Amino acid sequence: MVDLSVRVGDLRLKNPVVLASGTCGYGRELAKFINLKMVGAITVKGLSMEPWQGNPPPRIHEVYAGILNSIGLENKGLESFLREDLPFFETIETPLFVNIWGKNVKEYVLLARNLDAVERVTAIELNLSCPNVEKGGVSFALQEKVFEELVGRVRHSFTRKIIVKLGPQIFDLEKAIQILEREGIDFVSATNSFPGLAVNVDEQRFVFSRKVAGFSGPAIKPLALKLVYDIVSVTRLPVIGMGGIVCWRDALEFLLIGARAIGLGTVNLIYPDAAQRILKGIEEYLDQKGISSLEAIIGKVR
């Protein structure tokens, strides 16, 4: 029997598969297809204080081996989540990560404080790629001072685990990591989708109303893998690696370069049972290699 459990800091997950934010809804949507008890952790869709409508259609565009999305962070808001969805999670033991976002630092802090009172929440994950309305709509990840203030203030507002989700657009990766370590952030997750663009040639216009959209899917895996490799190189913080993972081989690439867990995103849209398929593949791989514990291969390729 292969031991698939992993240590992510001082958190032990029964296996390395984390369902990534924005691709597993609020849990129940996926529960029709898989038993959510069998994943390492689940990250529910990015929540804001108030319900948020998101962007007008079109919101999705398929490209070669990937998709561009412009959902615009649509979500039901914290209160509805706590009322409608949290009771469902009380019925399963799987660690629950809640992704949060705000339009300013105050909103993040408010969300963190509110969720601190909800014991079922194992960790909060900060999405920093949304626009900071108080700073001219530039993302929180692009301004060192705001980034530092945000991370520090959320740390003081939430007593359990905090994950910071880093994307490819960051003011300075090494400096950002130093701030996370200094402020006592627990884990890093990487990466978010990449900024991408698509043009409708027939109508000679941009596909999306906001022009730029988030690029995800297998096409971004080498880019995500490089980013995770770089992050692992500069920190001892545990990293949850994600970006374009669609099969067990992809998952193992991230683990071999040092990610301590892996996030499944876009693949959940195509195979709602992807977590199950990938875990089975990892288990068979380890079994064939005669390796009894997944921990033994984490970071083996550096």
Q: Does 281 bind other proteins (CB under 8 A)?
A: no
> Which runs of consecutive H residues, i.e. helices, occur in the chain?
28-31, 78-80, 86-89, 105-116, 144-155, 173-183, 221-234, 248-256, 267-270, 274-289
Q: Which of 112, 130, 177, 232 is catalytic?
A: 130
Q: Does 60 bind other proteins (CB under 8 A)?
A: yes
Q: 71 among the known binding-site residues?
A: yes
Q: Could you write out the DSSP letters of every residue in 249-285?
A: HHHHHHHHTT-SEEEE-THHHH-TTHHHHHHHHHHHH
Least Å distance between CB 64 and other proteins? 6
Nearest to other proteins of 63, 297 (CB atom): 63
- One residue of 37, 56, 113, 293 binding other proteins per CB under 8 A: 56
Q: Does 222 bind other proteins (CB under 8 A)?
A: no
- Distance CA(181)–CA(176), nearest Å, equals 9
Q: 217 among the known binding-site residues?
A: yes
* Contact window for other proteins (CB under 8 A) among 35-43, 55-63, 127-135, 255-263: 55-63
| Cα-based distances in Å from 275 to 26, 61, 82, 219, 252 | 16, 24, 25, 19, 13
| Neighbour-count burial of 230, counting CB atoms closer than 10 A to its CB (0-12 exposed, 13-18 middle, 19+ buried) | middle
- One residue of 92, 271, 291, 297 binding other proteins per CB under 8 A: 271
Least Å distance between CB 193 and other proteins? 12
- Distance CA(301)–CA(297), nearest Å, equals 8
Q: Is 130 labeled as catalytic in the residue annotation? A: yes
User: What element of type H or E holds 139?
Assistant: strand 138-139
- Token pair 């069998």 is found at 38
Query: How many beta carbons lie within 10 A of that of residue 56, not counting itself?
Result: 11
- Distance CA(4)–CA(223), nearest Å, equals 26
Least Å distance between CB 106 and other proteins? 23
- One residue of 32, 145, 236, 302 binding other proteins per CB under 8 A: 32
Query: How many beta carbons lie within 10 A of that of residue 101, not counting itself?
Result: 24
* Contact window for other proteins (CB under 8 A) among 22-30, 87-95, 226-234, 288-296: 22-30
Q: 70 among the known binding-site residues?
A: yes
Nearest to other proteins of 155, 277 (CB atom): 277
Q: Does 135 bind other proteins (CB under 8 A)?
A: no
Nearest to other proteins of 9, 72 (CB atom): 72
Strands 261-264 and 96-100: what pairing? unpaired
Residues within the interface to other proteins (CB under 8 A): 22-25, 29-30, 32-33, 51, 53-54, 56-62, 64-67, 69, 71, 74, 217-218, 246, 266, 268-273
Annotated binding site for FMN: 21, 45-46, 99, 127, 165, 217, 243-244, 265-266
Write out the catalytic residue numbers: 130
